[in-house]
Amino acid sequence: MRVMFIGDIVGKPGREMIKMHLKNIKKEYEVDFVIANYENASHGFGLTSQNANELLACGIDCMSGGNHSWDKKEVVALFATHEILRPHNYPEGVEGTGCKVYEVAGEKLAVLNLMGHYSMPYTDNAFRCALSTVETLNAEGVKNIFIDFHAEATSEKRAMMMLLQGKVSGIIGTHTHVSTDDFQIAKGTAYLTDIGLTGCRDNVIGMDEKVPLKQFLTGVKGHFDISKSCKKILQVAIMDFSDGKCLSALKLKYFDDKRVIRTDAWVEE
């Protein structure tokens, strides 16, 4: 099966890039299943029902979340009606789920959404949750497992890779909005510390630079906003999974000036 993952979609600029490119990418690369992180999709904070429908209509099959999953209260109802996840390691009793299993190209695919701990809201242990969930999935006959690990610390993301390499098909990090240059396949597990944002690329993590700069210069916080006009980027990872392993993987960057940059994941022998 060929799986595509899109990191943090940030506001209208990110949604516009999805509308502009996703269907063509799916066709060109013969993608079977698309996962995307929604937590910043509605003006940078959370997800509205209107934007959920808009993104799913573009060809996204499943959407994962993070610490901003709850910013729009209507998302709670969407958990029951749409293919939308929230981090699986929220405590028992929290609405929604962070793990779903799908039939894709004749095989089962589990999508697992986890959230890290450094500078994040209180949750159960992400590493123990990952181990127990993977064990349960394997017992149910699910071999192909993809994880969106939404975390601030690169050390947490790398540690998750060390814990699960050879046990899951892919682990890609989200949250920082800044792409890293370490896409690799080790022991059959695809890994990328952070895929980077889809949205504005010429400011501060997709947000207008005025408030962040004021905060850094003065220590006074303000409400982050998204520029009405900006240069945009779409970043996607495409991975081939079979029998629980990643066979090959690549990353594509689409710029609004029509440039496309491809990077193939390296394989650790």
% pLDDT > 70, the chain = 100
Helix residue ranges per DSSP H, 65-178: 75-81, 126-139, 154-164
| Listed residue (57, 16, 65) closest to 36, CA to CA | 65
Query: Average of pLDDT values for 151-171?
Result: 98
**Average per-residue pLDDT in the chain?**
96
Residue 92: the pLDDT is: 92
pLDDT over 80 at 69, yes or no: yes
Give the Cα separation of 59 and 253 in Å (integer): 18
Residue 145: the pLDDT is: 98
Of all residues in the chain, what percent are helix, strand and coil, respectively (each to 5)?
A: 25, 30, 45
The model's pTM is 0.96
Give the Cα separation of 216 and 204 in Å (integer): 12
List residues with catalytic annotation: 68
In this structure, are residues 38 and 58 in contact, taking their beta carbons and an 8 Å threshold?
Answer: no
Residue 78: the pLDDT is: 96
Question: What ranges do the domains of the chain cover?
Answer: 2-268
State the fold for domain 2-268: Purple Acid Phosphatase; chain A, domain 2 (3.60.21)
Residue 263: the pLDDT is: 97
| Listed residue (148, 201, 197, 202) closest to 173, CA to CA | 148
Query: Average of pLDDT values for 167-182?
Result: 97
pLDDT digits (tens, 9 = 90+) for 3-56: 999 999 999 999 999 999 999 999 999 999 999 999 999 999 999 999 999 999
Residue 227: the pLDDT is: 86
In this structure, are residues 68 and 39 in contact, taking their beta carbons and an 8 Å threshold?
Answer: yes
- Specify the range with the lowest mean pLDDT, choosing from 193-197, 225-229, 238-242: 225-229
pLDDT over 80 at 269, yes or no: no
Query: Average of pLDDT values for 125-138?
Result: 98
Residue 75: the pLDDT is: 94
The enclosing H or E element of 237 equals strand 232-242
Residue 228: the pLDDT is: 83
Q: How far apart, in Å, are the Cα atoms of 25 and each of 33, 37, 186, 190, 222? A: 12, 17, 26, 20, 37
Query: Average of pLDDT values for 244-266?
Result: 97
